[in-house]
Every structure is written in C-alpha cells, then in structure tokens.
Amino acid sequence: MVQGEALSKTGLLRLRLAMTNFFRLRLAVAFDNKMLTKAKLLQKMILRKFKNTIRQYNLIKKNDTIVIGISGGPDSTALAYLLNTLKKELMLNLHIAHLDHMLRSDSGEDREFVEELSKKLKIPITAAKINIKESAKKGSLEEIARNARLGFLIGVAKKIKTRKIALGHNFDDQAETVLMRILRGTGLYGLSGILPKRNISGFEIIRPLIEIKKREIKAYLKKKGISPCQDITNLQDVYFRNKIRNRLLPLLEKEYNKNIKEVLANMAQSAGIDYDYLSSQTSRLSRGMKTKLKISRLQKLFPAIQRLIFRRAIAEIKGDTRRITFQHIKELEDLLLNRPVNSIVDLPKGISVIKTKKDLLFYRKSRKICP
C-alpha cells in the first residue's frame, strides 16, 4: 500500500508538471501570436500612412523612376523598404544613391550596410565618397555637406534619366526644422518647414515619410528585425539642430506642451498652404519680371507680394535665398520707396541691386550694368 501510494503521488506530480508545461507552452504561443499580430498591425499602419502621404501630395505616379537617397540610418532605410513594398503595385523603377561624407572614421560601415541592403532588396545602387572636411575649410560644414549631397543625388538622377528623388525626412525632422527657423528668424516660407514635394533645379524632391514619427519608424524596423546604422554624432550637441533635438524639444515637451511636435508640424502645414497661395499670386502679378523689376508695377503691389518678388529675383541669380535676412528685404523695400536713383543695396554672395529711373536691377558685382 505504501509503495502504491508513493507511485500514485509520483504520477500525480508528473501529471501536474506536464499540465504546467503544456499551459506555459500555450501561453508562450499565444504571446508570440499576439506579438506577431501587433507587428503586422504596426506595419500595416505605417504603410497606410505612407500611402496616404503619397496620395495627398501626389508624390508618386505609376512607372516612376525614383532615386532613393540612403545614408543607412533608420529613416532612409525604412524609406527603401516601404518604397520596395510599392514596387510591384506601382511598377516603380528604384535606384539607391549613397554618399559617404567621410566625417567619421567608421563611415565606411554605412556604405557596406547600404550595399547589402541594395542586394537584399534587389535595387541597383550608386555609391561615392567625398572628403567634406577638406571642402568645408572655408565655409559651413553643414551647408557644404548638404549641397554636396544634393549635387550627388541630382547627378545620379541625371545618370539614370529621371527627375524624381526621394528623401527620408520624417515628422520629427519637420518639428525640428520649424523650431530652428523660428529661433534664427524666418518668414512664411521658412515656417512652412520641409515641404512634402519641392522642385529644385528642375528635379522633384519628395518626402513620403514626412507625416510618420521617428518612434514609429524605429518600431517598424524593429518589428521587421532590421538594425540600421547609427550616426553617433546625432547624439552630440555639436550642431544647432542636434541641440534642438536633444535638449530644447524634450524640454518643451516636458515643461510646456507634450504635443509641441504636432503643434509645430500643423503650423508648418498651415503656413505652407498660405505660402502656396501667395506664391501663385506672385507668379501671376510678376509676369515678365525676373531680375529687372519695373518700379511702377512694384509700387502698386502689396508688401507681401513685393517681398516674394525680391526673393525670386535673388534666387534667379544666386540659385537660392540662403543668408538673405529680414533686414536685407527691408533694405530693398527702402530702396524701392525712398532712396534716390543710382542707389545700390549689396546682398550676400556678391549680389547687388541698383535703382534706375524705371527699374530695380539685380546683378552680380562682377557684371557691368548699363541702366
């Protein structure tokens, strides 16, 4: 009897152990299924937002050939995967472009990552490198790097005979840019932030991730098991943008408004819509005026239109309006309304404006002007 009772207790313990393991396994499977479902839902949500942005701003059409600017970081990596997801549906021709700025000793690893990504997604790649530190000895490192990157992307686009370039700017980048411009001083165009679509030198720059948050992008990549490159300099407060990202925005979120990024992004969208209207009116009212502006016509226009015409004349010669401040525009207004004939206003990058009896003439100082 004693031996039988011992066997019975042993069997019962084994049964309990088996049942416990069985239920643990069921719970583990259920948990895995739940996590898998969450991952699928997240990926569907990101893809839906991605498609909505493309549709809302008319960023991509069927059969488009698109250069994808990829650094190897989270944003551009996610951009490559999402565009590749739409490749068959929209019959897209994709081409990866990667420029190594050689700013970090380990930047070559970024190129290796992007080349592996190119192989995995079966997307052709063009990669190059440039010593930005050497080029930036006489100027802003950020500005020279940005111009070098844009020049490289345009060069790749020309090579593959397309005019569309996709970049990985996201919702957080939008908030950072607007706040940065507010602190430096800006007008309506600057408040419009990073536009979803912009024409630069005849090339269409599109940003399909502009309404997707950084944390959503990171979660998307994590669920897909992708570990993108990490640029450690983004965590260092060496650039103005980094200080805003790492210090100012977190402070504003914590102490003033937890939705500050949404507020800034919404303001950018509103400013962009207003700017588009003013820009269309400026185009209509300034027909025939590029760098030779008729004074009698200008004086009949609202100041908002006058200022946009001034900026367009500067961009016609300079290529952009970087470093043109509010004070420069005020000087041009004073030249138009108050200063005598033959007065001159000097602007950055060798641009000057002279007032004749009938016109304001915008020119580079190296040119001889015959009023």
The answer to whether residue 3 sits within a structural domain is: no
Judgement on whether residues 255 and 334 belong to the same structural domain of the protein = no
Give the pLDDT of residue 365. Answer: 80
The answer to whether residue 25 sits within a structural domain is: no
The answer to whether residue 275 sits within a structural domain is: no
Give the pLDDT of residue 349. Answer: 87
pLDDT tens per residue, the chain (371 residues)? 445 555 466 666 776 777 777 667 666 555 555 555 666 788 889 999 999 999 999 999 999 999 999 999 999 999 999 999 999 999 999 999 999 988 777 888 999 999 999 999 999 999 999 887 776 566 677 778 888 899 999 999 999 999 999 999 999 999 999 999 999 888 898 899 999 999 888 899 999 999 999 999 999 999 899 999 987 777 677 778 899 999 999 999 999 999 999 999 999 989 988 998 999 999 999 998 999 999 999 999 999 999 999 999 999 998 888 889 899 999 999 999 999 999 999 999 899 999 999 999 999 987 555 55
Q: Supply the DSSP string of 95-152, one letter for each residue.
A: EEEEEE---STTHHHHHHHHHHHHHHHT--EEEEE--HHHHGGGS-HHHHHHHHHHHH
Judgement on whether residues 258 and 307 belong to the same structural domain of the protein = no
Judgement on whether residues 120 and 257 belong to the same structural domain of the protein = yes
Q: How far apart are CA 23 and CA 137, in angstroms?
A: 67
Judgement on whether residues 263 and 326 belong to the same structural domain of the protein = no
Q: Supply the DSSP string of 311-331, one letter for each residue.
A: HHHHHHHHSS-TT--HHHHHH
Judgement on whether residues 133 and 204 belong to the same structural domain of the protein = yes
The answer to whether residue 370 sits within a structural domain is: no
Judgement on whether residues 117 and 58 belong to the same structural domain of the protein = yes
Final residue in a domain of this structure, among 244, 270, 296: 270
The answer to whether residue 37 sits within a structural domain is: no
Using left for φ > 0, alpha for ψ between -120 and 50, and beta otherwise, residue 293 falls in beta
Diameter over CA atoms, the chain: 124
The answer to whether residue 33 sits within a structural domain is: no
Structure tokens at 75: 């944003």
Judgement on whether residues 292 and 266 belong to the same structural domain of the protein = no
Judgement on whether residues 117 and 164 belong to the same structural domain of the protein = yes
Structural domains counted in the chain: 2
Judgement on whether residues 247 and 315 belong to the same structural domain of the protein = no
Judgement on whether residues 347 and 235 belong to the same structural domain of the protein = no
Judgement on whether residues 93 and 217 belong to the same structural domain of the protein = yes
Give the pLDDT of residue 38. Answer: 67
Report the chain's C-alpha Rg in angstroms: 28
Q: What is the pTM of this model?
A: 0.80
Supply the range of the domain harboring residue 130: 50-270
The answer to whether residue 9 sits within a structural domain is: no
* Domain at 354, CATH number: 3.30.465.60
Give the pLDDT of residue 33. Answer: 53
Give the pLDDT of residue 339. Answer: 96
Give the pLDDT of residue 9. Answer: 64
The answer to whether residue 330 sits within a structural domain is: yes
SS3 content of the chain, % helix, strand, coil (to 5): 60, 15, 30
Judgement on whether residues 251 and 300 belong to the same structural domain of the protein = no
- Cα atoms found within 13 Å of the Cα of residue 336, Cβ hemisphere only: 23
Final residue in a domain of this structure, among 236, 270, 304: 270
**Nearest 10 degrees: CA dihedral of 234, 215, 178, 78?**
80
Distances (CA, A) of 359 to 215, 295, 321, 330: 53, 5, 21, 17
* Domain at 100, CATH number: 3.40.50.620
Final residue in a domain of this structure, among 241, 270, 299: 270
